[in-house]
A and B are shown apart, each in its own frame.
Chain A
Amino acid sequence: DQQVKQNSPSLSVQEGRISILNCDYTNSMFDYFLWYKKYPAEGPTFLISISSIKDKNEDGRFTVFLNKSAKHLSLHIVPSQPGDSAVYFCAGYTGGFKTIFGAGTRLFVKA
């Protein structure tokens, strides 16, 4: 039972354009959603989060949108840079100290 789904294993984008990474979830009890970024041979690093009571959160080039009725969130990166090439994990937190991660989407930003 995958509570957090990232249906696109990979995404390729031209430098300077917008990258949109999508995430769907099934658990209505998630309180927060978080995005992590992971480079090869490194651990994931936190990127941005959003509370379930909000529909948008922005931090520099990164914006996360939450559509609760559709149980869908997306991460927008504008403009995309080659250094953004990494695996991006979407995660939902329900309380009880459990964070559920999606399978990840590998982003390639072409120079």
Chain B
Amino acid sequence: NAGVTQTPKFRVLKTGQSMTLLCAQDMNHEYMYWYRQDPGMGLRLIHYSVGEGTTAKGEVPDGYNVSRLKKQNFLLGLESAAPSQTSVYFCASSSGGGTEAFFGQGTRLTVV
């Protein structure tokens, strides 16, 4: 049972570099989310998707872009990384808006 899989698990970027985080789920969930977790801040929603081909902004979308070309995949892109984007990123999926979400193991990103 893979559930939600995030790639990569760790990454170090230099300021200004770009990268894409991949999230894949095998539960046929319609809804997918990207969160970031920072010390003392809990989990904050970056972007989310309510179905294939759709995306929407969350609480902290600036500096990130997303795409959901296939139902099972949700990509998070950083076009020009900044030190403020150093964080742990979690992808999640759910069958409904208020139902339990299933999370990936996280990606620890450091921008130097």
Contact = CB atoms under 8 A, between A and B. Distances in A.
- Kindly state the interface size class of chain A when it binds its partner: 20 to 34
A43 B44 contact: no
B110 interface: no
Contact of B41 (A9, A43, A45, A103): A103
Interface residues of B, number: 26
A64 interface: no
Contacts of A41: 105-106
A45 B90 CA distance: 12
Given A97-B56, A98-B58, A46 B101 contact: yes
Interface of A: 4, 6, 9, 31-32, 34, 36, 41-46, 49, 89, 91, 93, 95-99, 101-104
24 contacts: A4-B42, A31-B98, A34-B100, A36-B103, A41-B105, A42-B106, A43-B104, A43-B106, A44-B103, A46-B101, A46-B102, A89-B42, A91-B43, A93-B97, A95-B97, A95-B98, A96-B97, A97-B48, A98-B45, A98-B48, A98-B59, A99-B98, A99-B101, A101-B35
